Amino acid sequence: DVKVTQSSRYLVKRTGEKVFLECVQDMDHENMFWYRQDPGLGLRLIYFSYDVKMKEKGDIPEGYSVSREKKERFSLILESASTNQTSMYLCASTMQGAVGNTEAFFGQGTRLTVV
Amino acid sequence: AQSVTQPDIHITVSEGASLELRCNYSYGATPYLFWYVQSPGQGLQLLLKYFSGDTLVQGIKGFEAEFKRSQSSFNLRKPSVHWSDAAEYFCAVAPNTDKLIFGTGTRLQVFP
């Protein structure tokens, strides 16, 4: 059974903290993505990666960075958490190639609250 | 810029009734089109996808969707809704890269 695993389901952090959200996939997928999901806004792409040590900005990268040191792991980093980063964060992965040819597999999400 | 519009934020139907969720996209060519479902507390699961060919595609859980090029639409349908279909539904497009662009979602509520 294919799987994308996010390390935490729920996180509560304080303003100004550095926050790490971890995502691991066991499908040997090349592409990995981080989205945030907010009511009424759907899913918005933060960053994505096509390969190890490669990253591309999505639509809302401000305040975030990412790390991909190994193929199976893609980390989202909030350098200095702020309350407007309170959200649901979803990780996804796909095989290489046009994403239209493949299915995106999603983790269960991490609900982050910044207080 | 590519975009996806789901005009209905919230839909309520009775169990056994038919369902249609609307999706319109904005893109110069025909993109790849998807419908995903998110059950409460879960990640997203692919319901169906359209690449080319037959404009009526069948998916899992009894869902189908029809691509209409003239209307730039990809509406999701189900002839008879079950209570377990209550969830949030997202339409998505993949223009020509390895990115998925999502709509804002439609929350479906099912009454017994």
**Predicted pLDDT of residue B99:** 75
Q: Yes or no: say if B92 and B102 are a contact pair by the CB < 8 Å rule.
A: yes
B→A contacts (Cβ < 8 Å), by residue, are 6, 9, 31-32, 41-46, 49, 51, 90, 94, 96-105
Closest C-alpha to B104, from B10, B31, B1, B18: B10
DSSP string, A50-109: SSTT--EE-S--TTEEEEEEETTEEEEEESS--GGG-EEEEEEEE-SS-GGGS--EE---
Amino acid at A63: G
Instruction: Tell which A residues from 29 to 88 touch B, by Cβ distance under 8 Å.
Output: 31, 33, 35, 40-45, 48, 50, 58
pLDDT tens for each residue of B45-98: 999 999 888 889 999 999 999 999 999 999 999 999 999 999 999 999 887 656
Distances (CA, A) of A52 to A31, A45, A56, A66, B38: 9, 19, 12, 11, 29
pLDDT tens for each residue of A35-73: 999 988 999 999 999 889 899 999 999 999 999 999 999
Confidence band for A16, pLDDT divided at 50, 70 and 90? very high
Q: Return the C-alpha torsion angle B44, A87, A94, A77, nearest 10.
A: -160
SS3 B85: helix
**Predicted pLDDT of residue B51:** 83
Given an 8 Å threshold on Cβ–Cβ distance, is B99 in contact with A45? yes
Contact list in A for residue B107 (CB cut-off 8 A) is: none
Main-chain dihedrals φ then ψ at residue B82, nearest 5 degrees: -105, 155
